């Protein structure tokens, strides 16, 4: 795993938690911020996954 994969998945989990807290407390802005953070984390993790795949292709 590379740093983008790790950081992305951490942001994804934090965003999911924030979204759930916003939903549970009835705060739509917190829920929306959590969803945005979650999507940003997914994008960063996907970028890390692609970097990892490209690295494996280069070594073969």
pLDDT for position 32 = 98
pLDDT for position 59 = 78
Res 58 pLDDT > 90: no
CB 33 within 8 A of CB 21: no
Residues 6+ apart with CB under 8 A from 50: none
pLDDT for position 2 = 95
CB 48 within 8 A of CB 10: no
pLDDT in tens, 13-47: 999 999 999 999 999 999 999 999 999 999 999 99
CB 7 within 8 A of CB 34: no
Res 60 pLDDT > 80: no
pLDDT for position 51 = 95
CB 27 within 8 A of CB 17: no
């Amino acid at each position: 795993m590379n740093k983008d994969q790790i950081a992305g998945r951490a942001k994804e989990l934090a965003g999911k938690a924030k979204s759930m807290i916003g939903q549970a407390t009835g705060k739509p802005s917190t829920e929306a911020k959590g969803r945005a953070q979650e999507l940003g984390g997914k994008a960063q993790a996907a970028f890390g996954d692609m970097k990892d795949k490209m690295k494996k292709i280069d070594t073969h």
